[in-house]
Structure 1
Amino acid sequence: MKRIVIFGNSASGKSSLAKALAEHQQLAHLDLDTLAWLPITDKSPMPHRQSVDISVSEIDRFIKQNNQWVIEGCYSDLLIHTLDKCSEVIFLNLPIKLCISNAKNRPWEPHKYKTKAEQDANLAMLIDWISQYEHRTDTFSKTAHKKLYDEFLGEKKQLIDNQ
């Protein structure tokens, strides 16, 4: 039974790899971006995280509804709740420069942005965020991802490029 968790820096290729695996191996796919954030509204135009408890409940519901799956994201505080249920982890540990290149070349993500122009307007902030990966100590950091990877006792892979 395939139950795969993929994590890494922003623009490391998590979504692309998860989509490819989901299609090739007929797995249900959960992108944690779709449940980790509250919707942006006129009253709340800045992004805010959803409660971790609510996000974990949604992850649990997804896992109960699907026998085989791939879950991907950069949220160590959410991913930690999937590790006892997964069969494999993949840590996309790409160089910062490659992640930045991926961000510059990514197609429009309609599940995150209303328009491609809106996505492009966010690019400078995203590049700055990607650049901080190795220095941050938060749930999105390389330190947090390495800890997830190191502590997982099952099958695991660490990839350093998008090939």
Structure 2
Amino acid sequence: MSKQAAARLSLDEVAFQDGAERRPLSDSIADVRRFMADNESWIIEGCYADIIEAILGNCEELIFLNPGVDVCIAHCRARPWEPEKFSSKEEQDDNLENLIEWVAAYESRADEYGLSRHREIYDAFPRKKRELNHPNEYASI
């Protein structure tokens, strides 16, 4: 019997409404819980510590992708157009410098999007976990 591929959810899909405005946290968490209930096997990705923390009890494994700020900025510069987020490639490119500035502050940021909060969640997770520090390791996911 073949194993079913895991359904994937980007937390960007449930965290925001109308561009940059965050949805109520309870609504985002409810959408993630529905996604998990509707799929036997799933992968959820995103940097939203407040959402992740609320669903950790349902996770059998936590994978922390932590390649460093320079790699993340390079990925930002190389990313293809994301039509689910931007109406055009030009609109996305107009936002690139803001994104790079946001990513550059990852290690010093004290909010839910920062390294210190992600590290706290990862370190406290009691089940199987992996920290991947190089994109070459991502193939193991």
TM-score by length of 2: 0.91
Q: How do 1:114-153 residues align onto structure 2 when only pairs under 5 Å count? A: 114-153=87-126
Structure 2: gaps of 5 or more residues: 137-141
Distance in structure 2 (CA, Å) of the matches to 1:80 and 1:25: 26
Please name the residue that 2:33 is paired with.
60
> Map of 1:13-162 to 2, 5 A cutoff?
26-40=5-19, 47-162=20-135
- Cα displacement (A) at 1:25: 6.0
Structure 1: stretches of 5+ with no match in the other structure = 1-23, 41-46
Pairwise CA distance, 1:110: 1.0
| Inter-partner Cα distance in structure 1 for 2:11 and 2:135 | 20
CA RMSD of aligned residues (A): 1.2
Secondary structure at the aligned position of 1:82 is classed as: helix
**1:67 Cα deviation from its structure 2 partner:** 1.3
Higher relative contact order (CA 8 A, sep 6+): 1
Per the TM alignment, residue 111 of structure 1 is displaced from its structure 2 partner at its CA by: 1.0
User: What is the number of equivalent residue pairs in this alignment?
Assistant: 134
Output the amino acid matched with 1:30. L
- Give the 3-state SS of the residue equivalent to 1:91 in structure 2: strand
Distance in 1 (alpha carbons) for counterparts of 2:69 and 2:56: 25
Structure 1 segments of 4+ aligned residues over 4 angstroms from their partners: none
